[in-house]
Amino acid sequence: MEQSFFIGIDVSQKQLDVALSQGDEILEFYFVPHTEDKIAQLIEKFKQTSPKLIVVERSGGLERSLVAHLAEAGLPVVANNPRQIRDFAKATGILAKTDKIDARCLARFAAVIRPPQRPIKDADRQQLADQVARRRQLVRMLAQEKNRLLRAAGAVRADVEHHIHYLQERLDKSNKDIDQIIENSPIYQETIELLTTFPGVGRITSAALVADCPELGSLNRRQIAALVGTAPFNRDSGTRSGARCVWGGRKNVRQQLYMATISAIKWNYKIKSFYTRLIAAGKKPKVAITACMRKLIIILNAMVKHKKVWQTSAG
């Protein structure tokens, strides 16, 4: 019988902790410096092993280069949510946490859970994602400074006003940079032009979906709703039937989708009528908005999958 090997890699700024497992048994553990040449050596070693799956824990962006190199080499790699890894460790009775323990947990997680592979962002998509994330930071900082301006006086007020002016310039520059990346990519441009035909979905929301949700258009309605975090899950036990609620998903995509949904409730007849029906049926506004978010992402997913603009989709 062919042996299946699984690899877990815990990523830190200076070091990669690597564990190789076969089923639940850890066969090998070692660590290497987190450098480009050592990553290249690891890849050559992994090619000889032919692992069934490599799981890397997301580490605030520290894992990006490693994941990109593994994917480019044709190795099966998944960058997984750290919360899932930690829950798996606790479920198996592992309460301690070190880099070595984490690597072993990642290898066992790969062997037992076998998380599905998702599209890995290429360099262009990662650049777009970075710009969208930077724009999000600038918008947040602008809001904070404008709130401070309400209570500022004298020299402090002048300083805050100066900073607001600077941040606005950077935000304008960020918008132009995003537009430039889109213009340089016919694929992104086509997708974004398609998405913006939906009333309520603007260019920034479309860019965020392209950057942070590369699966858009490749999943079915249930999968895309669960991926974004708008699918309600049951909370039942015995004779008790609990209220369903959404859980998990991609926070950044969901935040952008929320703003688009608020706009769509005003300007898009399909979302507006759906929201009105839910409110008339006694649903709370927050519940109705979440349901509209789910409907919106399903519609956008279908538009991208079938390459149809909203007018055509709406019939």
In a domain, 30, yes or no: yes
Specify whether the CB–CB gap between 249 and 225 falls below 8 A: no
Confidence of residue 221 (pLDDT cuts 50, 70, 90): very high
Last residue of some domain: 112, 144, 172? 112
Residue 156 sits in the same domain as residue 99: no
Residue 214 sits in the same domain as residue 289: yes
Query: CATH number for the domain including 23?
Result: 3.30.420.10
The count of domains in the chain is: 3
Confidence of residue 120 (pLDDT cuts 50, 70, 90): confident
Residue 158 sits in the same domain as residue 214: no
Calculate mean pLDDT across residues 290-311: 93
State the residue range of the domain holding 98.
6-112
pLDDT of residue 265: 94
Q: Give the tens place of pLDDT for each residue, 28-59.
A: 999 999 999 999 999 999 998 889 999 998 88
pLDDT of residue 239: 63
pLDDT of residue 242: 55
Confidence of residue 301 (pLDDT cuts 50, 70, 90): very high
CA dist 64 and 282 (Å) reads: 45
Residue 215 sits in the same domain as residue 311: yes
- What pTM was estimated for this model as a whole? 0.76
